[in-house]
Structure formats: structure tokens, C-alpha cells
Structure 1
């Protein structure tokens, strides 16, 4: 799980949405340890059978992402209130996840390039190019750059875990 969360924990990605199989994880202890890390928040979204869907996010990175004027314009276009707080944006997103069709704008919160979110939602006339962690639309260079940044964070986390394991 730490590998999946690495880009968010290392401030490279604003958030991660995971389905965790509860009987395989000591969730209470893991949650407590995560929330001791500055700026890391955990929100239990919903339970789906034996899984708990959890939104992990870095408050500073996500706030910076959502306060961007282009992000603000996009969110207003899809009926998020203007100039909302981070908490208001998250509350609306979580409500959509729980009670409506899955909101495709979640990609913005998860750190996907906005062009790819717009392409996926059909709000920009960009051709589908490939899938690499998310669906890429239009010019793939920015998406590749972001994907590689996230992969590097995962490799760094794996290395740190392995080195810690060797020192035991």
C-alpha cells in the first residue's frame, strides 16, 4: 500500500483513492500512523462489500492544485461552487462518489493532467492516445512527465522500504 501512496506521501501527487480489503490490513494502526505525517489526511469514503474505499490526500498539494485558476474554472463549469474551500470541494466530491454516478472529475483531485480529465469527460476534442495509470488524451508529453514523476516516487519508496527491511 505504501508504494501506491508514495507519490502522495512524497508531495508529488495530491491524492489517491484506494479500495482496501479490510481483513488483510490493520487499518486502524495504519491510519493512525499516516495521519501523524504533516499535511496527510485520510477520508473513509464508503464501504463496498469487504472493502473500504479511502481517499488519501496531501492537504497542501491538493489545495494548490484546486486553487489554480484553470482548475477553478473547470470545477465551476461542472457545478462546484466558486472559490470553495478545500473541505467544500472534498465534501462535494465525496457526496458524488457516494450517492451519484462516479464523478470523472476525480482525476483532477488525483493529480491527472487536466487535459486528460477533460478528454476523458468529452469536454475537450482530444484523441485518446494510451493508458498509463490513467487514460491519456492529446499530446502525451505532459502526461508522460507526470507519470514518470509518480513512478519515481514509487521507486524511491520501494528503495526506502527495502533498505529499512535490510537494516532489521
Structure 2
């Protein structure tokens, strides 16, 4: 569920290539179809500090995406990018809220508090199963992943899909379309321009 940044595969040779890669990954979050994205950068990578600096430089100007940077298991730095408006709507959904309360989240909902709870679990070295809700996956897929006996694995398409795949297929298509839209925009505009106008 976490995208890993590796030198050879995503960052090419320049900070600009890294930002283009990052913008494609974050297209669904910027275009309001995915509430968040979690990325991981290895501490052993000499370029991690420069990548984090570039993230701060670019996304501190962004009104649509917030982010949290934290260390995970003394092996990597994770960055949770999120669209506050969409994240709030997703977490407030009564089914998601009920599920998250059952997973130990406070009964009184607050976006910052829920994000703090999730991030604290990760800081303690655990990627909790409920992260799927925060990432915008259908609740049925999150519950199926946890092991609900009535939900059988149907397929893997971006994430593990359980039960009837119709909703999951639609959500996946939205994510893919947003990434494609971002890729097209990057052919014509700078990442900074896209961030300021998205």
C-alpha cells in the first residue's frame, strides 16, 4: 500500500524528474479523487534528504494538499500527502467512521486527531490495516483484507479487491484517469504551475 521511492526507478538523475514522478503519483490527490497517498523514502538513500527538501519547497505553496513527514522503523521516512477536504469527507462517512471507531479511533471525530492516531501507529512501526480507508479504498476491500470470511479475494488491481468488484473498478479507474491527466498536464506546464492552479 506504500509507494517506495527508489533511485533507479523513480527519480532519474535530477530533482525535476523526481518532482514529475511525484506529481504523477499525487495526481489523484490533487484532482480530488483520492484522499491521500503514502510514500516511503529509505534512510540509507543519500538523496532522501534532498527529496524531502524538494517536497517541502514545492508543496508548502499548495493549498489543496497537506502532508506529514515522519520516520518509520528507523529504516525509512514516510510522507503522508492528503487532500484535507476529501479526507474529511471520506472519514466522516458513517460506515468508515463506525469501522474506525471499532479499530480504536476516538468516537468524537476530528480530522487532525484521526490523522495523528494513524501516524502514531506508523511511527510505532505498524502500518495498520485501516490505512486503506485513509487511502480511499472501498471499505469492503479493507474489511476483506483484514480477513472477513464473507469477502473473498476477487482480484488485485492497484490493491486487493474483495467481493463484488464494481465499486473498486470504478475507484481504480478514477485513480488511473487522474494520473493520466497529470501526465498530460506535465507535458505542457511546470509542476509549480499545476500545483497553484489545480
Instruction: Give the Cα–Cα distance (whole angstroms) in 2 for the partners of residues 95 and 50 of structure 1.
Output: 16
Native 8 Å contact 2:66 2:83 kept in 1: yes
Aligned to 1:60: 85
Instruction: Report SS of the residue matched to 1:79.
Output: coil
CA 1:92–1:33 in 2, change beyond 3 Å: closer, same or farther?
Answer: same
Pick one of 37, 47, 62 that aligns with 1:37.
Answer: 62
- Measured in 2, the distance between the counterparts of 1:42 and 1:151 equals 22
Partner of 1:143: 168
Structure 1 regions of 5+ residues with no counterpart?
Answer: none
Q: Is the 8 A contact 1:72 1:83 kept in 2?
A: no
Aligned to 1:133: 158
Pair 1:126–1:48, CA change in 2 (3 A)? same
Q: 1:41 deviation in Å? A: 0.7
Question: 1:137-163 CA distances to partner (integer Å, 9 max, x unpaired)?
Answer: 000010000000000000000001112
Cα distance, 1:127 vs structure 2: 0.5
1:112 maps onto 2:133 in alignment: no
Q: Which residue of 2 aligns with 1:11?
A: 32
Do the aligned residues in 1 keep the contact of 2:133 with 2:142 (CA within 8 Å)?
yes
Give the aligned length.
Answer: 165
Q: How does the TM-score come out when normalised to structure 2?
A: 0.77
Determine the structure 2 residue equivalent to 1:103. Answer: 128
Q: How much does 1:49 deviate?
A: 6.1
